[in-house]
Amino acid sequence: MRQSFIMRNPSILIFLACLATFTLVVTLMSEAFGFDMISTSFVKTLGKTLCLCLVALAMDLVWGYCGILSLGHFAFFGLGGYMIGMWLMYARTELIVAGSLANAAIPPTDAEVVSAIGNQIFGVVGSSDFPLIWTFASSLPAQLALVVIVPGLLALVFGWLAFRSRVAGVYLSILTQAMTLALSLYLFQNESGLRGNNGLSGLQNLPGVTASQAVVSIWFLWASALALAIGYVVSAWVVSGKFGSVVRGIRDDEARVRFLGYSVEGYKLFIFTFTAIIAAIAGALYYPQAGIINPGEVAPIASIYLAVWVAIGGRGRLYGAVIGAAVVSLVSTWFTGGQVPSIPLGVYTVDWVDWWLVLLGVSFVLVTLFAPKGIGGLFDLIAGRLAPDRHGADYGPDKGSLQQEEGRG
């Protein structure tokens, strides 16, 4: 009766095959490695979309599987971006400064170099000193470690405080919104040491790399695809075994899990921190492709979008989250990019740049009402799987528990 991990989860192989095909096709169509059929900026959009799929995966783990409706996971995403952005900015400015000082009559001292870098980076906020949080900015390994450590620690402390006090349901959602809002407001201040509302910019230029953006964009596409593949397999492994059983039990009936002797708080904290780290890694890959990060990125609305993606894609199934994030964010790019023709109604012209959000909101409501399984539910039609008849009742008494319509037979 014991089957291998892959055998029990055939969707993993299908997913990996689709992802590999996608990456290959984009590479072959790219300017750098193929037939120059799609623009570099579109390759970047696709690479960024893969990162958004990864953070949606994290959201699905924490919400779809564990029932914690966190509306703050973009805070971790943004923090991951800031951490890698600090190194990118420092290292690149260092090269520029070194280049301009090289022609000076007297070779500059180290202190002069650092001060010149500080001037370059912080001149925009009227300062030239490096704040304490930039201590490790000159070291790539240190900043890469911080990509995981800083969001992980924030999630650990926040989660410990929240779960220990048994904050759950809508109160926890509000608390996570407050967290991401607080982070965003803090980063907006010039004194935060991360250049206030200017954010970190020029992140698309990798220090010391002479390759063109066309090549770099494909590198990042590959890296994002690899991260998504690894993230998918690890997530599938986490939710497939006994741990996944307990986590889904917590979603449907927390009290029952507690009376089985499992420390619900510990499990929630584990999932919360784990998904925060996934989100941070996704952010660290996203922002070098976006080129700029500013505090607006961690605004509360971003995390709400994340929940909408997962809901539209199909909560409680990993490929659902990926599909939701990919479809909604790409369609969103299309609509907000002004490429969709406006609809003249005589007295009023429907301009999709303005009306896209309304359309998104309406589709969210429609999906919630009429297709709770989301886009991912279409696969059940193909596989012919039916949900057990629960006579209209949900799978558990808890707020986050699966509804009957979301069941997977």
Per CB under 8 A, residues contacting another protein are 1-2, 238, 241-243, 245-246, 248-249, 252-253, 255-256, 258-264, 266-267, 270, 388-390, 395-397, 402, 407-409
Q: What's the closest the beta carbon of residue 175 comes to another protein, in angstroms?
A: 22
Q: How many residues does the structure list for the chain?
A: 409
Q: What's the closest the beta carbon of residue 388 comes to another protein, in angstroms?
A: 4
- Measured between alpha carbons, how far apart are the two ends of the chain, in Å? 20
Q: What's the closest the beta carbon of residue 109 comes to another protein, in angstroms?
A: 50
Report angle CA 27, 31, 34 to the nearest 5 degrees.
Answer: 50
User: Of 118 and 407, which has the nearer Cβ to another protein?
Assistant: 407
CA distances from 190 to 12, 49, 155, 201, 294 (A): 45, 30, 24, 15, 12
Residue 179 near residue 158, CB atoms below 8 Å: yes
User: Of 32 and 238, which has the nearer Cβ to another protein?
Assistant: 238
DSSP state of 124: G
Residue 310 near residue 59, CB atoms below 8 Å: yes
Who contacts 15 (Cβ-Cβ below 8 Å, separation ≥6)? Answer: 232, 318, 319, 322
User: Of 2 and 104, which has the nearer Cβ to another protein?
Assistant: 2
User: Of 9 and 184, which has the nearer Cβ to another protein?
Assistant: 9
User: Of 288 and 396, which has the nearer Cβ to another protein?
Assistant: 396
For the chain, what percentages of helix, strand and coil (3-state, to nearest 5) are there? 70, 0, 25
CA distances from 389 to 12, 199, 395, 399 (A): 28, 52, 11, 20
User: Of 287 and 395, which has the nearer Cβ to another protein?
Assistant: 395
Q: What's the closest the beta carbon of residue 278 comes to another protein, in angstroms?
A: 15
